Amino acid sequence: MHHLQTIQTGAPAQSPPLAAVLPLLQAQNEALLKQSYTVRPSSVARAEQQLLFPATSRSVCDEIGLNWWAALKLCEDGWLSFSADSTTRLDDAQESELRFVGSLVVAGCDHSMLATLLQGLPKPYAFPANKLYYHWVARQWRILPDPVADPEATFIDWLESLVERGDISSLRGILELTHDALSRLNSRCGQQELRVS
């Protein structure tokens, strides 16, 4: 019984396997990377009206830890599609672009590494940094799966990772939980049939 509880609630300080979260379908990857993250002027105006303190280049740089001189150099070298110095308020796309490219610089990427990492991505680089990861072996950006939007795919990936690791114990626990769930469902269906009669 303890084994089943561990599987249901997770072992102490245990997180879901990383391999279950990272694998993606190529079609999803291409779809996100081809999307344009430009914002229509009407939605920018609405967003600006709702913001009490709209983002500025300096405020985003301070937030992500990017040196102001480095931000200006990114503009000068063509990594950003706007001038950080002369743009007083950033729209959503500009903010995403500065956060995405700026975070790479903060992480230690120099000019040649930026060229390698951003090769093949369409400009402007206005991608949500919290929804992408770089697949080093494939040398391409990929989308992190959304477990809420597609729980079945996430579950299948997790099962595959358990099979690859040879985690028979976890797989048997899942099987027990599945049998239990099916038994409860069959029991409910049987009770409903008796009520109808």
Nearest to 93 by CA among 32, 134, 41: 41
Task: Give the helix/strand (H/E) hosting 143.
Answer: strand 140-143
What are the helix (H) ranges across 65-91? Answer: 68-76
187 and 108 in a single domain? The answer is: no
108 and 183 in a single domain? The answer is: no
Total domain count, the chain:
2
79 and 133 in a single domain? The answer is: yes
**Which of 119, 143, 167 is the C-terminal boundary of a domain?**
143
186 and 102 in a single domain? The answer is: no
Give the pLDDT confidence of 157-189 residue by residue, as tens digits.
889 999 999 999 999 999 999 999 999 988 888
Q: Would you state the pLDDT for residue 193?
A: 62
Give the pLDDT confidence of 74-124 residue by residue, as tens digits.
999 999 999 999 998 999 999 999 999 999 999 999 999 999 999 988 999
